[in-house]
């Protein structure tokens, strides 16, 4: 096993550091771009309910497990499992995590590129006086027609690369602290405008009133994947960040605060988008383009909308970057510690390979349109054609993350040892941990069983 010089590792300066960094990782395109469109495709309120159930029963326990594993091992995910469980195959979680990081960051970079294009479109005032249909065409033309998708994707990845290469202290923490409150603020302003549009009520009903006839295995599976993705869990990003956490920080309250903030921002994004979707007659099932089509309509109906849209896209790009760096950081930390590379070399190799993969994602609606796989949905029997972008999304979010999460909670619940969990959670006896029974119940039984059922059902081994 590689020997690591611990004195060389970064460390978050303060408690706010870990909350800021983990929230920075969690809050990103997953909340504002992916959550609304997946909810739109999955029938609305019923999806929200299942999603919230997964956040509490699975999400928070997995996040806390990752913090515990990371801080106690002080290593990248692969190294952490090797250290905590020598001679056992748990390190496979670390390997899966590297694959997940490659796939997620590949399509994430493509969407990061879309946000850069939309910042450019905001600045050059391309939304003004356009009807909802024209804004729809604007998005589709961009995504289907141009090399710009790749140019922006490469720029987004370059930004990610430069922040990661700057290292932990300077890189990750700094960018998040001011950002989140401002993003929250502007989302609230957009929401207020959205819910005061004529015809907005239908959107709120769609979002908050569960229609249980819409609930099926596909919706549940989508909610599980989205919960993992949004919280940045299941592939070791938060093991890696956990390894930089100060020994004095309160892991439990950090995990709860981060998960709740992340969930709040996602729901708020829903409140900003769905009233407008219904008010402007946009199809809630529009797919990946939903927010890019809906938001410019709202901006046009706001005083100062020109500036608000610029500000919004800048914030969204920054929020996306504080997430993308956490994905790249997993790979870089592993390459540095396990393969003994310099941080610079590891960053260059990882970022270039991922950017190449991501270019195919960015071109999935144009040059690589032909590269598809037909997927027959087990639940509905319906045939969906997946392009490369969608394939990576499916494989990482719906397969690797839930499986990784399952292994992480099983490891913590059954192998790590209750005594060590108590030590970590109480900071060697300094804090009270009255909830340990509840946590053990969640990580030993609730979370693993819930993930396993959803998963086995999806791959067709269990019928509900």
Residues in contact with ligand TRP by CB under 6 A are 25-26, 28-31, 104, 229-230, 232, 235, 237, 323, 326-327
Q: Please identify, using beta-carbon distances, which residue of 30 and 305 lies nearer to ligand TRP.
A: 30
CB of 236 to ligand TRP, least distance (A): 8
Q: Please identify, using beta-carbon distances, which residue of 59 and 305 lies nearer to ligand TRP.
A: 59
Q: Please identify, using beta-carbon distances, which residue of 73 and 98 lies nearer to ligand TRP.
A: 98
Contact 187, 269 (CB under 8 A): yes
The Cα-based distances of 56 to 30, 36, 125, 443 in angstroms read: 18, 19, 42, 12
Phi-psi region of 234 (alpha: psi -120 to 50; beta: other; left: phi over 0): left
Q: List, in order, residues 6 or more apart from 114 with CB less than 8 Å away.
A: 142, 143, 149, 152, 292
CB of 174 to ligand TRP, least distance (A): 18
Q: Please identify, using beta-carbon distances, which residue of 191 and 323 lies nearer to ligand TRP.
A: 323
The Cα-based distances of 390 to 152, 288, 451 in angstroms read: 19, 10, 22
| Residues β-bridged to residue 411 | none
- What's the CA gap between 386 and 396, in Å, rounded? 14
Q: Please identify, using beta-carbon distances, which residue of 193 and 398 lies nearer to ligand TRP.
A: 398
- What's the CA gap between 242 and 262, in Å, rounded? 17
CB of 331 to ligand TRP, least distance (A): 11
CB of 78 to ligand TRP, least distance (A): 15
Q: Please identify, using beta-carbon distances, which residue of 43 and 225 lies nearer to ligand TRP.
A: 225
CB of 335 to ligand TRP, least distance (A): 17
Residue nearest to ligand TRP (CB): 30
Return the DSSP state at 433.
Answer: -
- What's the CA gap between 158 and 153, in Å, rounded? 9
CB of 128 to ligand TRP, least distance (A): 29
Contact 295, 59 (CB under 8 A): no
Q: Please identify, using beta-carbon distances, which residue of 29 and 439 lies nearer to ligand TRP.
A: 29
Q: What are phi and psi of 384, to 5 degrees?
A: -120, 140
């Amino acid at each position: 096993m590689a020997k690591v010089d611990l004195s060389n590792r970064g460390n978050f300066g303060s408690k706010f550091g870990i909350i800021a960094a983990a929230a920075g990782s969690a809050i990103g395109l997953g909340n504002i771009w992916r959550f609304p469109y997946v909810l739109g495709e999955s029938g609305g309120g019923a999806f929200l309910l299942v999603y919230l159930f997964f956040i509490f029963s699975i999400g928070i326990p997995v996040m806390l497990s990752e913090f515990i594993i990371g801080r106690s091992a002080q290593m990248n995910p692969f190294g952490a499992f090797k250290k905590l469980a020598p001679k056992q195959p748990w390190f496979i979680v670390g390997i899966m995590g590297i694959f997940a990081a490659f796939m997620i960051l590949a399509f994430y970079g493509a969407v990061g590129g879309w946000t850069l294009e939309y910042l450019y479109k905001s600045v050059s005032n391309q939304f003004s006086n356009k009807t909802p249909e024209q804004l729809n065409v604007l998005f589709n033309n961009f995504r289907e027609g141009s090399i710009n998708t790749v140019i922006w994707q490469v720029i987004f990845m370059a930004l990610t690369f430069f922040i990661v290469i700057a290292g932990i202290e300077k890189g990750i923490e700094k960018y998040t602290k001011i950002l989140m409150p401002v993003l929250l603020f502007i989302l609230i302003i957009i929401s207020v405008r959205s819910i005061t549009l004529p015809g907005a009520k239908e959107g709120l009903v769609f979002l908050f009133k569960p229609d249980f006839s819409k609930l099926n295995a596909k919706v549940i599976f989508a909610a599980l994947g989205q919960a993992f993705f949004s919280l940045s869990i299941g592939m070791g990003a938060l093991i890696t960040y956990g390894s930089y956490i100060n020994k004095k920080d309160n892991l439990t309250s950090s995990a709860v605060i981060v998960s709740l903030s992340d969930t709040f921002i996602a729901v708020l994004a829903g409140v900003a988008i769905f009233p407008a979707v219904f008010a402007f007659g946009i199809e809630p099932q529009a797919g990946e383009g939903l927010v890019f089509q809906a938001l410019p309509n709202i901006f046009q109906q706001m005083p100062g909308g020109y500036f608000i849209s610029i500000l919004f896209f800048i914030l969204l790009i920054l929020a996306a970057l504080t997430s993308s760096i956490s994905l790249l950081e997993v790979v870089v930390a592993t390459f540095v510690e396990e393969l003994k590379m310099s941080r610079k070399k590891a960053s260059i190799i990882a970022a270039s390979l991922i950017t190449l993969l991501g270019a195919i994602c960015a071109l999935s609606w144009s040059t690589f349109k032909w590269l598809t796989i037909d997927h027959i949905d087990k639940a509905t029997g319906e045939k969906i054609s997946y392009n490369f972008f969608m394939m990576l999304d499916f494989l990482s979010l719906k397969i690797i993350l839930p499986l990784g999460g399952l292994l992480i909670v099983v490891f913590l619940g059954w192998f790590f040892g209750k005594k060590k969990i108590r030590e970590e959670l109480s900071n060697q006896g300094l804090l009270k941990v009255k909830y340990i029974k509840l946590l053990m119940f969640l990580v030993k039984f609730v979370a693993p069983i819930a993930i396993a059922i959803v998963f086995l059902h999806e791959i067709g081994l269990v019928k509900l």
